[in-house]
Amino acid sequence: MIPAPFTYRRARTVEEAVDLAAEAGDEGKFLAGGHSLLPLMKLRFAVPEVLIDIGRLAELSYIRDEDGHIAVGALTRHHDLEHSALLAAELPLLARAAGAVGDPQVRHRGTIGGSLVHADAASDLPAVGLALDATLVARGPSGSREIAMTDFFRGLFETALEPGELLTEIRIRRPAERGWSFQKFTKRAIDWAIVGVAVQGGRVALVNMDSVPARAGGVERALAAGDGPAAAAAHAAEGTSPVSDINASAAYREHLARVLTARALAEAASRN
Amino acid sequence: MKVAIGVNGRQVEAEVEDRLLLVHFVREVAGLTATNIGCDTTSCGACTVLLDGESVKSCTVLAAQADGCEVTTCEGLTGSDGRWHAVQRGFHAEHGVQCGFCTPGMIMAAVSLLAENPDPTEAQVRAGLEGNICRCTGYHNIVRAVLAAARDGRLPGGGSPAGAADPAEEPA
Amino acid sequence: MSIMGTRVLRTEDPRLLTHGGVYTDDLRVPELTGAAHVTIVRSPLAHGLITGIDASAAAAMPGVVAVLTAADLPAPAEGGDPAAEPLLAGDRVRYVGEPVALVLTEGRYQGEDAAELVSVDYDPLPAVPTLGEAMTGETLLFPGTDSNVLGSGTAGECDDAAFAACEVVIERTIVNQRLAPVPLEVRALAAAWTGDRLTIWSSTQNPQLARGAVARRLGMDQAAVRVITPDVGGGFGAKVAVDRDAIAVAWAAKHTGHAVRWIESRSENMVGMVHGRGQRQTYKVGGTRDGRVLAYRLDLVQDCGAFDRIGVFLAGLTALMAAGVYDFAHAGASFRAVATTTTPIAAYRGAGRPEAAAAIERAMDDFAAEIGMDPAEVRRINVVAPDKFPFTTRTGATYDSGEYAAGLDRVLAAADYPALRAEQARRRERGDVVQLGIGMSVYVEITAGDMGGETARVVVGDTGAATVFTGSSAHGQGHHTAWAMLVQDELGIPMDQITVVHGDTDIIPEAIGTFGSRSLQLGGTAVVRAAGEVKDQARRLAAEMIEASEADLELDTARGTWQVRGDPATALGWGQIARRAGPGGLAADARFDASAPTFPFGAHLSVVEVDTETGKATLARHVTVDDAGRILNPVLAEGQRHGGIAQGVAQALLEEVRYDADGNPLTSTLVDYAAITAPELPSFELVTSETPTSINPLGAKGIGEAGTIGSTPAVLNAVIDAVSHLGVRHIDMPATPERVWAAINEARASQ
């Protein structure tokens, strides 16, 4: 339960964070809330030699109403997302999902940026990001760039971020369709989702139905073609490859995906 | 590396390994052993303390991350006049303690819960304690303890309504 | 007014709520200054030969004090039991997590670093993780034996002829799944030489038994070993005495002369601490269509894990209690206890009795469903009548007292059973997605079954304060509060003048300790006896001091004074009498050996809601009668019931230890092992019931495990009941959402 030895560096500015990351190269990892990374390090599944603590970068913790979109700083904690009046009004899907991550103690530390960059398909916020069709802003040695959410998740725990790039902001356009729903199925309240579904209007994203966070293309196409919630939900498992593990078989996950998608679409419709 | 962390209002400075977990800083450097370790996967909540007023699992925070911050542990709840915090009083009055191992972490989680939601329903209390495992009590009396503390509504160290007895002063 | 039976808050609390308990890893005693930290290197394989251990890299790491392996242990005696369990694995490992080496380091954090550097070579052997594989005997865990069966036996008799006479016969094979006890404090031990004695601080339920085990395994005189029990963060039977890991740590202190301290990680605990339950059960129940069960047979296979810690014993206890609360014409049980390449199985809250109750209560519901009768009615027809006690069952247990039907009726009334059935009917009629399930159990269990007795010493000093030295060893039960209540009641000394001491073999050399729900009935009675002897001594001295005859004296327990009856001017306080007794005051030792175990009983009613689309069951209500005789302190008794119920619910719905086909544990963290948390449970509804026993003067039976025994079958029955209208007849535990969903699908497919 003790991490392997490493060197700790603290970044006082975003620039310094990027510089420290360049310096550390392959051996370095950013440390935000630490609630994805430190658990892995404590079990020695991850053994980075350098940790660059970006947790003090207050300039990256914000939720702002900007021109046409909501801007969320990458280091905004789940707790703050959960309790944000702005999000409750404009992006309740994000507020609700953030409030379901882990437990209250975890939510006081974990950040949206940390969660997205960790890119675990069993986590809730990647699916929410996809359902909100967010745009991510990353800062690297050669400056800032934007990455579409749909381009962000590349593989198992793999994102489009280049080595040394720091995620700084998540931009979400005000959704045209206001109906939303977040369905997270667990055995216990604190468990990771066995399966989850995030819906914003006609966009549907799944939690834990694949090794990479993904949208439910079959469902979306059916909705666009005019299918109602139940008919569209029947397509929920199409194109997915859920694992069979100690928590559920693939077949059960596929079934849950259909059931939860139907419930999510019905709930979203009731909120339109 | 050198860290300076306020623990229950006292500054504790030390030269520590970069990888030192905050829970070990509290237990071994600050010498306060009420905060316990019950797991290695951030699951059980026995290590819960307040970090700048908010509950965190101190096993999943580096001492380095807490440098310059304020940590409050269960030992820091009792007022300087010896009066117990409302949550401590509730746990005693409602028999929310059996073996006591989960208790300090559970109490700190409850303190944070009530700070954010002073008048919770039973369901909100149960949800608010989802990150804290107890094997002895079945949670029944812990929930009653937290609801009692909410009703109690007194600030730590504050005055007591006429006639209310403080268990810290009562004969056994 | 007597304090007995009243609600008294705990004297243990102030310490625990403020600066916290002092558990083994919290100790900062001078003897442990500079103690080396011990980290255990464990087998990553379920089954294999150890072909070499290279500790050179570890030993060379700065801060490493020593690396110890089986080669450093004294050689085992010739001709020993081939299935004996070593302290450290020598030539062979038999479960993932088995201790192979000890690494001693100066610093705590260095321990894991150094342990990673110990290189162990293994030659894998076929894993035998399942009962089926173990029973083929194709791969034997112990060379020199001819099978993996470690023991077998029977209780009662119920052959095929008994079933031939039955109109209805059903048979079913079910699983009572392996569980992990998960006390919140993991195992921990510290040891140091003080002169020529080894002092051990151990997170144990039985310091005296621990001393005996350590002395025996280390070849030392008991007098040379002292065991001190600091606060213990939960035991649940898994911390009875000490196990091989802990003894190996004590041995490291003996061998190196160095003070040591050890605390495992939770991941280690999940594979290194004993597991519980683990039975495959086949029941056969036969009877008439009007609800009378005539014959019940239970055949079970007990998974012992890799060694027989108490697997054979547990199976025997299940067989003994197999018939439950029922008066059957024929009842019998048989068991085989089998070794598998998994973590050894031993006691976990209920230890053999939950398994018996789960089987018979499932069978009764199964029988009721078969004949289409209300499961409450079937139970009423078959329970032992109240006028039949003491009642000896067909499987050989003699129950002291019980009111089984009355207990059932009381929970049904408290739950408003007819209203629940009506609501269930409405939801079925409407075809609601969320259906209601109602399940019940009527159970009996055996407490203080070890028949080992308990000790106590009571001392009254010259200030009039009393000290109680108890052989019981609390780890959350509140004995200090309870024993102080007993002494206040007996002697009239107020509780705040009474100190209770436990857990140091130098102070309390002879005792058994706490497990099997024995402490109040045995330890408490011993306290009362010792207090009674102190009272007798005091009466004699008071008679001298007052110059009256003993017959004219009375003890005013409200004031705590001795006086001539009706003449308060003659009153003497305890302090005065103790001073008269001389140095050491008044003191008496007592021992209580009960003539028989006692049999608490009860009934649980469980209401669940099952989402028939996802299969998820939610516990909505849980109502219980848990009758443990005369209750000393309802606060403590309720707490024990709550905690027991929660763990029993967890078995029914959530928890399970799992292994893969190669014997690798799949649930070795608290992420994967679904220990139950607050949101999954409702507040419980407890009904009071006290049917005293005559086995001890307190009229008390044990309450600690009853809640667990009664709750598991009630919850499982409720889940099955929720979907029985869809054709489901059984679901194995834990009744996870997927299992419920699969059962519904299977039932639909077969219709």
Sheet of strand A195-200: strand arrangement: A180-185, A195-200, A203-207, A214-215
Query: Do residue C491 and residue C570 come from a single domain?
Result: yes
Nearest chain A CA: its distance from B94 CA (Å): 24
Task: List the domain range (segments joined by +) for residue C357.
Answer: 127-179+275-383
The number of distinct structural domains making up chain C is 5
Query: Do residue B103 and residue B127 come from a single domain?
Result: yes
B26 contacts B7 by C-beta, under 8 angstroms: yes
Query: Do residue C434 and residue C459 come from a single domain?
Result: no
For the cut 70, the answer to whether the pLDDT of residue C375 exceeds it is: yes
What are the residue ranges spanned by the domains of chain A? 7-53, 58-173, 180-270
A58-173 adopts what CATH topology? 3.30.465
The nearest alpha carbon in chain A to C669 belongs to A43
For the cut 60, the answer to whether the pLDDT of residue B145 exceeds it is: yes
The number of distinct structural domains making up chain B is 2
3-class secondary structure per residue, C592-651: ECCCCCECCEEEEEEEEEEECCCCCEEEEEEEEEEECECCCCHHHHHHHHHHHHHHHHHH
In a domain, residue B7? The reply is: yes
Which residues of chain C are within 8 Å of residue B146 when distances are taken between CB atoms? none
Q: What are phi and psi of C202, to 5 degrees?
A: -135, 135
Assess A85–C contact: CB distance below 8 Å, yes or no. Answer: no
Among B76, B97, B132, the domain-final residue is: B76
Q: Per residue in C258-282, pLDDT tens? A: 999 999 999 999 999 999 999 999 9
The phi-psi region of residue C396 (left if phi > 0; otherwise alpha if psi is between -120 and 50; otherwise beta) is left
C335 contacts C152 by C-beta, under 8 angstroms: yes
Check residue B80 and give its pLDDT. Answer: 87
Using CB atoms, pick whichever of C112, C614, C679 lies closest to residue A2. Answer: C112
Confidence of residue B167 (pLDDT cuts 50, 70, 90): very low
Residue C501 CB burial class (10 angstroms; 0-12, 13-18, ≥19): middle
CB-CB under 8 Å, A189 with B60: no
For the cut 90, the answer to whether the pLDDT of residue B33 exceeds it is: yes
CB-CB under 8 Å, A187 with C654: yes
Query: Do residue C121 and residue C140 come from a single domain?
Result: no
Query: Do residue C624 and residue C700 come from a single domain?
Result: yes
Among B76, B94, B118, the domain-final residue is: B76
In a domain, residue C240? The reply is: yes
Nearest chain B CA: its distance from C198 CA (Å): 25
The nearest alpha carbon in chain A to C267 belongs to A1
**Quick check: helix, strand or coil at residue A209?**
coil
For the cut 60, the answer to whether the pLDDT of residue B159 exceeds it is: no
Torsion angle, CA of C398/C402/C404/C405, rounded to 10 degrees?
Answer: 130
Nearest chain A CA: its distance from C680 CA (Å): 7
Please give the Cα distance from A247 to B102 (Å, whole number).
26
Using CB atoms, pick whichever of A102, A104, A109 lies closest to residue B113. Answer: A104
- Residue for token pair 């900007």: A66
Please give the Cα distance from A47 to A29 (Å, whole number).
10
Least confident piece of the model among B10-19, B99-108, B157-166, C689-698? B157-166
Which residues of chain A are within 8 Å of residue C667 when distances are taken between CB atoms? 246
In a domain, residue C270? The reply is: no
Structure tokens at A268: 């979203």
Query: Do residue B11 and residue B68 come from a single domain?
Result: yes
CB-CB under 8 Å, C737 with A187: yes
Which CATH code fits A180-270?
3.30.390.50
Q: What is the pTM of this model?
A: 0.97
Question: Chain C neighbours among A 157-196 (CB < 8 Å)?
Answer: 185, 187-192, 194
**Quick check: helix, strand or coil at residue A254?**
helix
Q: Per residue in C546-599, pLDDT tens? A: 999 999 999 999 999 999 999 999 999 999 999 999 999 999 999 999 999 999
For the cut 80, the answer to whether the pLDDT of residue B157 exceeds it is: no
Domain A7-53 of CATH type 1.20.1300.10: no
C64-97 per-residue burial string, b: 16 or more CB within 10 A, e: under 16 = bbbbbbbeebeeeeeeeeebeebbbbeebbbbbb
Prior bond of C734 cis (ω within 30°): yes
Query: Do residue C363 and residue C411 come from a single domain?
Result: no
Assess A5–C contact: CB distance below 8 Å, yes or no. Answer: yes
For the cut 80, the answer to whether the pLDDT of residue B162 exceeds it is: no
How many residues in chain B?
Answer: 172
Prior bond of C390 cis (ω within 30°): yes
For the cut 80, the answer to whether the pLDDT of residue A129 exceeds it is: yes
Q: Radius of gyration over alpha carbons of chain B, in Å?
A: 16
Query: Do residue B71 and residue B102 come from a single domain?
Result: no
For the cut 70, the answer to whether the pLDDT of residue B164 exceeds it is: no
Which residues of chain C are within 8 Å of residue B62 when distances are taken between CB atoms? none
B64 contacts B1 by C-beta, under 8 angstroms: yes
Q: Per residue in C462-482, pLDDT tens? A: 999 999 999 999 999 999 999
Please give the Cα distance from C376 to C418 (Å, whole number).
11
Which residues of chain B are within 8 Å of residue C108 when distances are taken between CB atoms? 24, 28
CB-CB under 8 Å, A8 with B1: yes
Confidence of residue C296 (pLDDT cuts 50, 70, 90): very high
Check residue B168 and give its pLDDT. Answer: 42
CB-CB under 8 Å, C23 with B97: no
C126-136 per-residue burial string, b: 16 or more CB within 10 A, e: under 16 = ebbbbbebbbe
In a domain, residue C392? The reply is: no
CB-CB under 8 Å, B104 with C681: no
Q: Give the percent of chain A with pLDDT over 70.
A: 100
Sheet of strand B10-15: strand arrangement: B10-15, B2-7, B70-72, B48-51, B54-57
Using CB atoms, pick whichever of B42, B109, B112 lies closest to residue A39. Answer: B42
In this structure, how many other beta carbons lie within 10 angstroms of the beta carbon of residue B113?
A: 23
Please give the Cα distance from C644 to C631 (Å, whole number).
17
Confidence of residue C1 (pLDDT cuts 50, 70, 90): confident
Assess B51–A contact: CB distance below 8 Å, yes or no. Answer: yes
Q: Per residue in A196-254, pLDDT tens? A: 999 999 999 999 999 999 999 999 999 999 999 999 999 999 999 999 999 999 999 99
CATH (domain of B109): 1.10.150.120
For the cut 90, the answer to whether the pLDDT of residue B146 exceeds it is: yes
Q: What is the ipTM of this complex?
A: 0.97
Task: List the domain range (segments joined by +) for residue B20.
Answer: 2-76
CB-CB under 8 Å, A31 with B42: no
Query: Do residue B32 and residue B90 come from a single domain?
Result: no
Q: What is the mean pLDDT of chain C?
A: 97
- Mean pLDDT calculated for residue range B75-101: 96
Assess A270–C contact: CB distance below 8 Å, yes or no. Answer: no
Strands (E), C397-492: 398-399, 434-444, 454-460, 466-470
* CA C107 to chain CA centroid, nearest Å: 35
Give me the helix-helix angle, C404-415 and C375-382, nearest 10°. Answer: 160
Query: Do residue B72 and residue B14 come from a single domain?
Result: yes
- Mean pLDDT calculated for residue range C420-432: 98
B127 contacts A190 by C-beta, under 8 angstroms: no
Residue C364: enclosing H or E segment and its boundaries?
helix C353-371
Closest CA to A189 of C679, B152, C318, C248: C679
CB-CB under 8 Å, B38 with C184: yes
Confidence of residue C751 (pLDDT cuts 50, 70, 90): confident
**Quick check: helix, strand or coil at residue A95?**
helix
Which residues of chain A are within 8 Å of residue B2 when distances are taken between CB atoms? none
Confidence of residue B154 (pLDDT cuts 50, 70, 90): low
Query: Do residue C430 and residue C472 come from a single domain?
Result: no
Assess C29–B contact: CB distance below 8 Å, yes or no. Answer: no
Q: Per residue in C659-700, pLDDT tens? A: 999 999 999 999 999 999 999 999 999 999 999 999 999 999
CB-CB under 8 Å, C614 with A187: no
How many residues in chain A?
Answer: 272
- Mean pLDDT calculated for residue range C25-51: 98
Q: Which position has the higher pLDDT, B59 or B171?
A: B59
CB-CB under 8 Å, C265 with A185: no
**Quick check: helix, strand or coil at residue C258?**
coil
In a domain, residue C388? The reply is: no
Assess C503–B contact: CB distance below 8 Å, yes or no. Answer: no
The nearest alpha carbon in chain A to B57 belongs to A105
**Quick check: helix, strand or coil at residue C231?**
strand
In a domain, residue C396? The reply is: no
Check residue B156 and give its pLDDT. Answer: 52
Query: Do residue B21 and residue B71 come from a single domain?
Result: yes
- Subunit partners of chain C (3 or more CB pairs within 8 A): A, B
In a domain, residue C389? The reply is: no
Residue type, A64: R
Query: Do residue C427 and residue C477 come from a single domain?
Result: no
Query: Do residue C557 and residue C475 come from a single domain?
Result: yes
3-class secondary structure per residue, A117-147: HHCCCCCHHHHHHHHCCCEEEEEECCEEEEE
Confidence of residue B171 (pLDDT cuts 50, 70, 90): very low
In this structure, how many other beta carbons lie within 10 angstroms of the beta carbon of residue C579?
A: 17
Least confident piece of the model among B102-116, C66-80, C139-153? C66-80
Check residue C80 and give its pLDDT. Answer: 76
CATH (domain of C223): 3.30.365.10
Give me the helix-helix angle, C353-371 and C375-382, nearest 10°. Answer: 110
Q: Give the percent of chain C with pLDDT over 90.
A: 97
